[in-house]
Structure 1
Amino acid sequence: MQFVGIPVLFFALELPFIVPSKIPELGQVISPGAGGGLGTLAYQYAKALGFRVLALLSGKEKRRHCEKLGVDFFVDYKTSKDLAGDINRLTDGGPHAVVVVSSAERPIYQALEYVRARGTIVLVGLPPGARIQADLFSVIFRMITIKGSYVGTKEDTENALEFFLRNKMVMQCQIMDLE
């Protein structure tokens, strides 16, 4: 069984590029920093494609929200004493893919610790002024793929939205006055 972590519309646009070549069937996905609307959509998208999803967030409210979405595993990064160890235990050796939507640098470095050998890390979040520093021996020896994703094509967007509607995904929204 494989695992992957995810964020939403960006994920919906990126996942088709990752899935066929990098994530074995019914793999695992994890998405640090995907606690809002983007994450909600990403988790549903991954579940609809048959992936086992691990949410990496913090707090009881986020846990309840993820449980409602059918997320397979939840790790609270604030209370975990061994984040990489906890994730590796739950995913039987680490997720096959990690989609980092966080706008902080730390989740990028953490992903390098827990992604499985031959796994893929997709960077979507844009931490201001961030630079990646990695143990190249570990990245090369474990054959980790690191890639960035900004946006897809118009056709990718249309396909993602059609998939969203066909699979009856739910997006929470709040209507507010502009006063």
Structure 2
Amino acid sequence: MHAIVIREPGEPSVLEWTRVPDPAPKPGEVLIDVAASAVNRADVMQRMGFYPPPDGAPPYPGLEVSGRVAELGADVTGLSPGDEVCALLGGGGYAERVAVDASQVLPVPRGVDVVDAAGLPEVACTVWSNVFMLAGLRAGETLLVHGGGSGIGTFAIQLAKARGTRVVTTVGSAEKAARCRELGADVTVNYREDDFAGSGPYDVILDLIGAKYLARNVDALATGGRLMVIGLQGGAKAELDIGKLLRKRALVHATTLRARPLAEKADIVAGVREHVWPLLESGAVRTVVDRRIPMADAASAHRVLEASGHVGKILLTV
């Protein structure tokens, strides 16, 4: 098969579409003929040499795919060859085929195109696990989503609104603000011009920035607020005012999805199937795809992502 390999850490040009050995499903795994993968910030970090895949994962980038079941490993039930599925991966999605533990596989939601479904597993599992499982966002509360135009942001806005919360999001342009309001955001804040704290306080904050926003995020939390840090686009080190956290009885929780044990990810995937998939099938939540790019041209897709002009997911098609 063909896959995108990283010749050496560096710029997007180090991504190369080349022949690699075909995977084979182990017991408990599913082999998927890939229709599409999606580009995530973690893929950029891996390309630059900062985010190696976990032990046992393929060396190719790609944290999610959609496609059709090609083969079942021993002991796999509930799936059949030809089924349209999408899957959460530890790596290896930029390829024509991938083998993945069956617990990480989801059916393509009814009414969703199989290619577009490639942009669902990572965002759905990230938002569900952080905003709802860990932070416990409840109807009537207020959520702040940083980076509303991102894949994570566009999905978080819709899911939170569908579950009865007020949503504020930060954006970098008037165009992105308009798109986020179309998705249900109650308030958009252009971070280049305004301070997001003015639209708070917030019960839950979903943050992809990290150090740069830490102090302001804590300032903006409501009493009993929960700050979920899932990215480091603004750096990794900052001072944390513990006294302020104590006074607010607030929580700061930093987490990643990729390196979690399979059993933990299986619980998340099961929760997504139970609570999120019905909203996709009813149309209350939808996939937001910025563009499709041939997988062989993954370098161009990385350049688009790094330019930050996109809204929603960038898909790589086979």
TM-score by length of 1: 0.79
Instruction: Specify the code of the residue in structure 2 equivalent to 1:172.
Output: V
Q: Which residue of 2 aligns with 1:12?
A: 128
Q: Which runs of 5+ in 2 are unaligned?
A: 1-122, 258-263, 298-318
Q: Does 1:124 align with 2:230?
A: yes
Instruction: Specify the code of the residue in structure 2 equivalent to 1:17.
Output: L
Equivalenced residues, count: 162
Q: Does 1:175 align with 2:292?
A: yes
Alignment of 1:1-179 (within 5 A): 8-9=123-124, 10-14=126-130, 15-19=132-136, 23-80=137-194, 82-84=195-197, 86-88=198-200, 94-102=201-209, 104-127=210-233, 130-151=236-257, 153-167=265-279, 168=283, 169-173=285-289, 174-177=291-294, 178-179=296-297
Which of the pair is proportionally richer in helix?
A: 1
| Cα contact 2:212–2:234 (8 A) shared by 1 | no
TM-score by length of 2: 0.47
Distance between the aligned counterparts of 2:223 and 2:278, measured in 1?
Answer: 34
- Cα 1:34–1:107 shift into 2, 3 Å: farther
- Cα 1:166–1:83 shift into 2, 3 Å: closer
| Cα contact 1:30–1:98 (8 A) shared by 2 | yes
Distance between the aligned counterparts of 2:226 and 2:269, measured in 1?
Answer: 22
Instruction: Specify the code of the residue in structure 2 equivalent to 1:27.
Output: E
Distance between the aligned counterparts of 1:37 and 1:108, measured in 2?
Answer: 22
Which of the pair is proportionally richer in strand?
A: 2
Percent identity over the alignment is 19
Deviation at 1:124, TM superposition (A): 0.8
Distance between the aligned counterparts of 2:192 and 2:175, measured in 1?
Answer: 14
Q: CA RMSD in A?
A: 2.3
The structure that has the greater radius of gyration is 2
- Cα 1:24–1:166 shift into 2, 3 Å: closer
Distance between the aligned counterparts of 1:128 and 1:63, measured in 2?
Answer: 21
